[in-house]
Chain A
Amino acid sequence: MAVPRFWREIPNRYNLVGARCGNCNKVLFPPRYICPHCRRMGKLEPYRLKRRGKVLTYTVVHAAANGFEDQAPYVLAIVELEDGPRLTAQVTDCNTDEIKIGDEVEIVFRRMGEDGQDGVIYYGFKARRV
């Protein structure tokens, strides 16, 4: 995959930068380019989200996604962040039998994988129980 595809998402993935709409004040993540609530009336500005949230649901992935084989079994969850938005993230530093709905987590910076032997190593976020 071309390097720019990873490179252009760096602010969002490394620093959890989404958007806040100056019209309705809603915080949006992953990033969007039009506020889905206000549409053309919206005024989106970059917004760095708070890193705390809680687990809404989870699964233990045994049959890994392509590129994640060496990490299986891993915990995958949907996390609701304090600012409101939800995201999908792996739960790191967590035994597969420890996770439960309602667990408090923080979003942390992690190595996610690599694009083959010759491609870039890419980074992003995972969730860690607190």
Chain B
Amino acid sequence: MRDVAIIGVGLTKFGELWDVSFRQMMMEAGARAIEDAGIDGKQIDAMYIGNMSSGQFIRQEHISSIVADHAGLVPIPSTRVEGACASGGLALRQAVIAVASGIHDIIVAGGIEKMTDVLTGQATGALATAADQEWEVFVGATFPGLYALMARRHMYEFGTTEEQMAMVAVKNHHNACFNTCAQYKTEITVEDVLKSPPVTSPIKLLDCSPITDGAACVILAPAEKARKFTDTPIMVAGTGQASDTIALHGRSSLTSLRATIEAARTAYKIAGVKPDDIDLVEVHDCFTIAEIMAIEDLGFCKKGEGGKMTEQGETVIGGRIPVNTSGGLKGKGHPVGATGIAQAVEIVQQLRGEAGKRQSDGAEIGLTHNVGGSGGTAVVHVLRRGD
């Protein structure tokens, strides 16, 4: 297997982009990544596009063809990858595997979701199809509902508080203020979160990531060729993916995601690193409790201490391990299929030292963590500065 490097990244603005279409967003992110990599479109061998639900959001399937077509890149192979909100992370992993295997050299890994061409109820209904339709959604479960079931149990078992969860949202909104692509560039307070309308107790509106339009793109190349394109290649040091039951009630633990633990174990092993070696992370904070569980499951603190770790300021920029410097799903926005790729974009910019006011100084190794559904899929990548 060959070593794989990221040589270019691109991101659209995230938000409610009424005036921008699916096609336009994907071309914008792709063009930025290609420009950043300093390659010509003719050099691209294949593409993998993460997208959860274009069929439900814009009534258009077969977007793999649309993307290749509009990029002017037919006839190269183009493949859509779906794993609910982990679609982007899975597309990145498929692209990494394809380069590592030697079957392709230069690959585009993209991610996209156009979520605001339907009404909010239709969008949340579409997202709910990532849960078990027959045995969760049928009885009245929603996504915030499933994460609330985890949050309530986490509070019961470990004493995690609503204030600690609120601190995740406060931090991620703060970080997003320094990210020009972010959906919410507004500071909020713990009190704002606690007083926001209840969604599914103990989860309140400001504990939730928003509905977002956005696209993201990275360009991959074999490590041995990466220096031809860039002075700052970022190595994909490890990749891991794991599955779990579709329904939350099918799992023995309601307070950790086994898929996260297993995906991280594989990624750490391949990269030859431990949690202590990681300088910063982008985790899947679809709800604030999800970030608390993620930092535990990824091994940055003991199980049950994610709330305390957040409260003690260890996850802020400049803290022991900065979490979601981009603003995360909460502050930057969560265009579901794009999120996994956007996480990689952030880590690449950080490792290159190009993150501006949100830069985490001296970062050499970063990690991305992308979750599908309530944890039925998780994918983890370890990225490292190429030396």
Interface range on chain B: under 10, 10 to 19, 20 to 34, or 35 or more?
Answer: 35 or more
Q: How far is the CB of A49 from chain B (nearest CB, A)?
A: 13
> B203: CB under 8 A from chain A?
yes
Cα-based distance from A112 to B136 in the complex (angstroms): 12
Query: Which of B136, B140, B150, B197 is the one whose CB lies under 8 Å from A57?
Result: B150
Cα-based distance from A88 to B149 in the complex (angstroms): 10
Bits for A39-68, please: 1 = Cβ < 8 Å to B, else 0: 000000000000000001111111111101
Q: Is B200 in contact with A60, judged by CB distance below 8 angstroms?
A: yes
List the A side residues contacting B136 at CB < 8 Å. Answer: 88
> A76: CB under 8 A from chain B?
yes
Q: How far is the CB of A120 from chain B (nearest CB, A)?
A: 13
Q: How far is the CB of A63 from chain B (nearest CB, A)?
A: 5
List the B side residues contacting A74 at CB < 8 Å. Answer: 140
Cα-based distance from A88 to B150 in the complex (angstroms): 12
> B201: CB under 8 A from chain A?
yes
List the A side residues contacting B66 at CB < 8 Å. Answer: none
Also in contact, A63 and B200, with CB within 8 A (given A58-B152, A101-B153, A101-B156): yes
Q: Is A66 in contact with B254, judged by CB distance below 8 angstroms?
A: no
> A30: CB under 8 A from chain B?
yes
> B141: CB under 8 A from chain A?
yes
Q: Is A59 in contact with B156, judged by CB distance below 8 angstroms?
A: no
Q: Is B156 in contact with A62, judged by CB distance below 8 angstroms?
A: no
Interface of B is mostly: helix
Also in contact, A62 and B197, with CB within 8 A (given A56-B153, A78-B254, A88-B248): yes
> B75: CB under 8 A from chain A?
no
Interface residues of B in 199-243 (CB under 8 A from A): 199-203
Interface residues of B in 125-153 (CB under 8 A from A): 125, 128, 132, 134-142, 144-145, 148-153
Q: How far is the CB of B258 from chain A (nearest CB, A)?
A: 14
> B121: CB under 8 A from chain A?
yes
Q: How far is the CB of A118 from chain B (nearest CB, A)?
A: 19
> B250: CB under 8 A from chain A?
yes
List the B side residues contacting A9 at CB < 8 Å. Answer: 134
> B70: CB under 8 A from chain A?
no
Q: Is B137 in contact with A65, judged by CB distance below 8 angstroms?
A: yes
Cα-based distance from A36 to B213 in the complex (angstroms): 38
List the A side residues contacting B198 at CB < 8 Å. Answer: 60, 62
Query: Which of B150, B201, B254 is the one whose CB lies under 8 Å from A62?
Result: B201
Bits for B95-115, please: 1 = Cβ < 8 Å to A, else 0: 000000000000000000000
Could you jot down 21 A-B contacts, CB within 8 Å?
A30-B132, A30-B247, A59-B201, A59-B202, A60-B201, A61-B142, A61-B145, A61-B148, A63-B144, A63-B199, A65-B137, A65-B140, A66-B121, A66-B125, A66-B128, A71-B140, A76-B145, A88-B249, A101-B152, A101-B153, A112-B139
Q: Give me the interface of B with A, judged by CB distance under 8 Å.
A: 121, 124-125, 128, 132, 134-142, 144-145, 148-153, 156, 197-203, 247-250, 254
Q: Give me the interface of A with B, judged by CB distance under 8 Å.
A: 9, 30, 56-66, 68, 71, 74, 76-78, 86-90, 101, 112, 124-126
